[in-house]
A and B are shown apart, each in its own frame.
Chain A
């Protein structure tokens, strides 16, 4: 039994193998992937509650709410590394959490191996593209692009 497994509720632990240190019969050749996935969903979920509730509160509840969300607003936020990292961690965790959840949904509703593979392939490709795109945007973003009317830009550009 691994340290991680030992800390789990009893029902989820693998029963100890009496004769050897190998995994019990029915589990030979399998990995602990689903166990780590289960732990990841709980851990990332708990963090995402804080990150997303914070995101929704700042963007929809303060100032003009949805009407205040424009280039100047987001540019002002991303001029601060705090919000860059907040959004980056939120992006990565949300996509990983969501992709793992969708993997479970695909496993539940596809019966043919080929269909399952096709859906999962599309899912992983999409997840990779979205994470790469989001990460690039957060860190290559210029809050004060040249040649743009000052009233479209965050206040820090004219200060």
Chain B
């Protein structure tokens, strides 16, 4: 918190001039820190969720063929391996959603950029709370001996 209270905090002091950066960083301009990791997380979850979305619309479309066909396709979602996959998917969706709200706040709330790091830790906290609510219910459905 203290380093964020003043614009001359830790991060500003750590930043190097671009000439030195481009000359000395070995092969990469990724600079680490909360900003980079949240960006990477947002992108990875985005691609993962998008690919599942394509699959999910295709599997749902089999409902138009026949009840038997749809139930057979949905049957493949009901084994423990897919159950873990569904939990991972929900985790990706929740992270992407919460970080997306953080991005909206960074862009449009006047104090957003100042609190972007704090908001990332709020995102992680809320993620933990939501998953703590979701996982026991879902895993009971998956492993509950249906």
Do A and B interact? yes
Residues of A within 8 A of B141 (CB): 60, 64-67
Residues of A within 8 A of B68 (CB): 148, 152
Residues of A within 8 A of B71 (CB): 70-71, 152
Q: Do most interface residues of chain A lie in helix, strand or loop, or is the interface mixed?
A: helix
Q: Are B54 and A56 in contact (CB under 8 A)?
A: no
Residues of A within 8 A of B140 (CB): 65
Q: Are A133 and B101 in contact (CB under 8 A)?
A: no
Which of chain B's residues has its CB closest to A101's CB? B46
Within 8 A of A (CB), among B108-146: 108, 134, 137-138, 140-142, 146
What are 23 residue pairs bridging A and B, where the CB atoms are less than 8 Å apart in the complex?
A: A45-B104, A49-B100, A49-B101, A52-B93, A52-B97, A60-B86, A60-B134, A60-B138, A60-B141, A61-B138, A64-B146, A65-B142, A66-B138, A67-B78, A71-B70, A71-B71, A105-B46, A133-B57, A134-B57, A134-B61, A136-B64, A148-B66, A152-B71
Chain B contacts to A: CB under 8 angstroms: 43, 46-47, 49-50, 53-54, 57-58, 60-61, 63-64, 66-68, 70-71, 74, 77-78, 83, 86, 90, 93, 97, 100-101, 103-104, 107-108, 134, 137-138, 140-142, 146
Chain A contacts to B: CB under 8 angstroms: 9, 42, 45-46, 48-49, 52-53, 56, 60-61, 64-67, 69-72, 74-75, 91, 94-95, 98, 101-102, 105, 126, 130, 133-134, 136-137, 140-141, 145, 148, 152-153
Other A-B pairs beyond A60-B137, A71-B63, 18, CB < 8 Å: A9-B108, A45-B97, A45-B100, A49-B101, A52-B93, A60-B134, A60-B138, A71-B67, A71-B70, A91-B57, A102-B46, A102-B47, A130-B57, A134-B60, A137-B60, A140-B64, A145-B67, A152-B67
